[in-house]
Structure 1
Amino acid sequence: MIALLLRDLRLAIRAGGGFGLGLAFFLIVTVLVPLGVGPEGGMLSRIAPGILWVGALLACLLSLDRIFALDHEDGSLDLLATAPLPLEAVVTMKAAAHWITTGLPLVLAAPVLGLLLNLPWPGYPWLLVSLGVGTPALSVIGTFGAALTVGLRRGGLLLSLLVLPLYVPTLIFGAETLRRGAEGLSVATPLLMLGGITAGAVALLPFASAAAIRVNLR
């Protein structure tokens, strides 16, 4: 499994869907928003939690179609489906590789980008916590969407339409955790909900993703 994870990390970086693409998109979003709404600090502080989470969510979408596409094109996916390693474990490793190359860099870069949106100082620890807890769910849900659309020509748009509604609960509770943390309020309820979504996605969706791949490979 570790060898598969390392292989997927190398493929993700070589295919251009690694660290740079998501970070560049995240940076563009955080730079354009102040230009669009104006530099007034109070307004930026109020909208910063939502903007940071929307930017992270959209950045995660950019590389979802590559999760299984390369393996499907060269026939590796058929070999993985018939390998002794359970297909659910393969899906989990691919989701982990996507998070390491996309979600983790966003988590680490978010505090720097929060400065551009005048995020209040009490919100910075909760920015790291909310993204650290929520972005794994984005990768796992995205992997499920990629499994549903594997093998489809121009499936990127369909993948986005399938995945975006599933991202909404994570977005809501992630942004609410950050907003409450920035205002000095209790974050227990939204953070627990966010953690529950991530735990449920990690526990259940690899089985659904594996079933979808088996159907698409028949």
Structure 2
Amino acid sequence: MRAASSAAFCARLLRRQLVLGLRRPVEIGNPLLFFAMVIALFPLGLGPAPDTLAAFAPGILWIVALLSNLLTSEGVFRGDFEDGSLEQLLLAPQPLYFSVLAYVLAQWLLTGFLLGLLSPLFALMLGLEPAAIPALAGSLLLGTAVLSLVGGIGAALTVGLRRGGMLISLLILPFYMPVLIFGSGAVQAALAGAPAAPYLAILGAMLCMAVALAPLAIAAGLRISADT
């Protein structure tokens, strides 16, 4: 009975976060607009040569996805911290592990998941080979989930600070690098005709580890921030 009530509570919490996010379409549109604008600017800096753009496309797409995730990481818990809802969540009898997982899942669905779905369009803008697009979409869906979980740790530790955006970047950017390396590596492998499955498997293992450990770190960070 208690497990069922905890699952129902987390489902309601996830629905609440999604509804709040959909009521603020600007917060959803900002990462997507940033992604599109930066992708559109790269041809101006690198030149319009299709071969040049296609060669740099995997790294470009992944770096922009990483920066887009940083834009939204700071606000995962900010609103609930400011209105006092976060303190009530910390006092709730439900396990905090699943509650913070619902927050991160909502953030990923509204940002990383959408980026993964729209990535084929942006890839075609850079002239990426169609054969590499499935590897790109798969790596982004897996990788952005890891980025959201790791970003949630930084958001939890800095939620009590007025300007924690730069601090979040300093805290979590080094942990983003393995995801960036293997995510772009999957696309590069697909371009070279090699199997991308090993890279995707490593990203999947990273995601499993992040799902197991990151919510515990996020919960501890929220308790530290609430006590200070």
For this structure pair, what is the TM-score category when the shorter chain's length is used for normalisation? over 0.9
What is the Cα deviation at residue 17 of structure 1?
Answer: 5.8
- Given that 1:53 and 1:175 are in contact with CA atoms closer than 8 Å, whether structure 2 keeps it comes out as yes
Q: Deviations over 1:94-134 (max 9, x none)?
A: 00000000011101110001111100111011111111111
RMSD of aligned C-alpha atoms? 1.2
Q: Is residue 200 of structure 2 the alignment partner of residue 210 of structure 1?
A: no
- Report the TM-score, using the length of structure 2 for normalisation: 0.92
Q: Deviations over 1:161-205 (max 9, x none)?
A: 112111110010000001111221122332222111111111111
What is the Cα deviation at residue 19 of structure 1?
Answer: 2.8
Q: Alignment partner for residue 50 of structure 1, among 43, 59, 78? A: 59
Aligned equivalents of 1:175, 1:33: Cα separation in 2:
17
What is the Cα deviation at residue 16 of structure 1?
Answer: 5.0
1:92-111 equivalences under 5 Å are: 92-111=101-120
Aligned equivalents of 1:203, 1:21: Cα separation in 2:
29
1:33-112 equivalences under 5 Å are: 33-112=42-121
Q: Is residue 28 of structure 2 the alignment partner of residue 19 of structure 1?
A: yes
Q: Which residue of 2 aligns with 1:130?
A: 139
- Report the TM-score, using the length of structure 1 for normalisation: 0.96
Q: Which residue of 2 aligns with 1:165?
A: 174
Aligned equivalents of 1:25, 1:103: Cα separation in 2:
13
What is the Cα deviation at residue 90 of structure 1?
Answer: 1.2
Question: Which residue identity does 2:157 align to in structure 1?
Answer: L
Task: Give identity over the alignment, percent.
Answer: 45
Aligned equivalents of 2:84, 2:177: Cα separation in 1:
34
1:4-15 equivalences under 5 Å are: 4-15=13-24
Q: Is residue 129 of structure 2 the alignment partner of residue 120 of structure 1?
A: yes
- Given that 1:19 and 1:105 are in contact with CA atoms closer than 8 Å, whether structure 2 keeps it comes out as no
Question: Which residue identity does 1:6 align to in structure 2?
Answer: R
Q: Which runs of 5+ in 2 are unaligned?
A: 1-9
Q: Deviations over 1:11-50 (max 9, x none)?
A: 2333456431111011011100111100111111110000
Q: Which runs of 5+ in 1 are unaligned?
A: none
Question: Which residue identity does 1:118 align to in structure 2?
Answer: G
Q: Which residue of 1 aligns with 2:155?
A: 146
Aligned equivalents of 1:98, 1:126: Cα separation in 2:
23
Count of residues paired in the alignment: 218
- Given that 1:181 and 1:187 are in contact with CA atoms closer than 8 Å, whether structure 2 keeps it comes out as yes
